[in-house]
Amino acid sequence: MRRILTNKIFILVLVVILLLALAAVSYSERSGVNIIGNIISVPAAPLQQAFSFVGKKVGDFFGYFEDVKKTKAENEELRKRISELEQQILDIDRLTKENKELKDALNFKDQYDEFDFIGSSIIAKDPGNWFEVFTINRGSKDGILPDSPVITAYGLVGRVSKIDLLTSRVISIIDIDSTVSARLSKSRDLIVVRGDVELRSKGLCRADYIPPNTDIMPGDTVETSGIGGIYPKGIIIGKVVSVISNEGQYDSYAIIEPVVDFKRLEEVIVLKKEP
């Protein structure tokens, strides 16, 4: 008996089984979105995480030797870069200081001050080419709340919809369940950015409620308005691809290309409201 308990393999197997069972059960109870399409992906999702982890490690190992050669060459290159970057850091320090002074002078409160940034990785996604609805490796354990905004360094990704202990579901702005109150950065007109049944398959979304005679052109930036209660102000959403006026209709709508690449998405940042 004692031998069995101390058997490392057995303990490992037991833990894996427990984890898998736990994950499977938690999935079956909580995921309610797009079930029919998910018959394959949902039950497989817990395994997916394990496989992708192992696969990554193995790949890393073999890549090591090849990397050494490359690394040497890069080393020289990087040393040069370091001195350049050191100079830039000095500049940045100076600018940061200046920025802070100016902000203080303007009594400007940073929108993001009230948020904690939680980095997270995507561990599963719904089928399709695009990251419309996906799962990240952070959950209620990490203090994530429903409706927490999700961003990348480029701009807006979406919001958290459902939360488990260790994972959360994220609804991206191209999903049809997403609506974001937004502004045209240039004209400051209020619009509403929505996921669209047809556009989502192209990784695009649409902006509704554009009043007539609005100063809007392809290439214009669209950002969050901050007045919808979920997303903080000023996060870049995307760029206007085209403006479409339906015959006779008073308002127009625009097709928006998100700045975030929803085809290749790995790491995202969840904005967690500080208590």
Partner 1 sequence: MVMSRDENKREGLDRYIILAVFILVAAAAIVFNLAKIQLVDGQKYKEETKYRLSAEGYIYPKRGDIFDRKGVPIAGNRMGYCAQYVDIKMPKMPNAEKNKMLLEIINILEADGKTIKSRLNNFMSFEPLQFKTENPGDFIKTIVINKDDADYIITAKQAFDYMREKTFEIDDSYTPEETIKIMQLRYEILVTQPQISNPLILADDISAETMCLLEENSRLRGVTTFIKPYREYYENARLVSHVLGYVGSINAKELEEYNKELEKVEGSVPYIASDIVGKMGIEQAAESILRGIRGETFLEVDENGKIITSYQERAPVPGQDVFLTIDLDLQRVAVESLKRNIERIRKIEHKKNFGDANAGAVVVLDVNTGEVLAMASYPDFDPRIFLENNAAEINALWSNPDAPEVNRATSGKYAPGSTYKPLVAIAALESGVIKPTTKIRTPYKEEIGNMVFTNPEGDQGYIDLEKALETSSNMFFYKVGVQTGIDNIVKWAKIFGFGRKTGIEIGEQIGSLASREYKRQYIEDDPEWYPANTAMASIGQLYNSFTPIQLANYVSSIANDGKKFTPHLIKMAVDQNGKITYEPSNEYEQLPVSPKTIAAVKKGMIAVVNSEDGTAAKVFENFPFDVAGKTGTSETGREATSSSNGLFVCYAPYDKPEIAIAVVVEHGVWGRETAPIAADIMMEYFRLNKKKDTKTDDASKESIDIIW
Length of the chain: 275
Name which of 70 and 188 has its Cβ closer to partner 1: 188
The residues that touch partner 1, with contacts defined as CB under 8 A, are 9-10, 13, 16-17, 20-21, 24, 27-28, 35-36, 39, 42-44, 47, 146-147, 159, 161, 171, 176-181, 190, 192, 197, 208-209, 211-212, 225, 227-231, 246-251
Query: Would you say 59 or 229 has its CB closer to partner 1?
Result: 229
Q: Is 97 exposed, middle or buried (0-12, 13-18, 19+ CB in 10 A)?
A: exposed
DSSP letter (8 states) at residue 110: P
Contact yes or no for 188/270 (Cβ under 8 A): no
Q: Which is nearer to partner 1, 59 or 248 (CB)?
A: 248
- Nearer CB in complex with partner 1: 61/250: 250
Tokens found for residue 162: 């459902």
Beta carbon of residue 123, minimum distance to partner 1 (angstroms, whole number): 17
Q: Which long-range contacts (CB under 8 A, 24 or more apart) does 14-22 make?
A: 16/50, 19/46, 20/46, 20/47, 20/50
Question: In whole angstroms, how close is the CB of 179 to partner 1 at the nearest point?
Answer: 5
CB of 204 to partner 1, least distance (A): 16
In the complex, what is the shortest distance from the CB of residue 188 to partner 1, in angstroms, rounded to a whole number?
Answer: 11
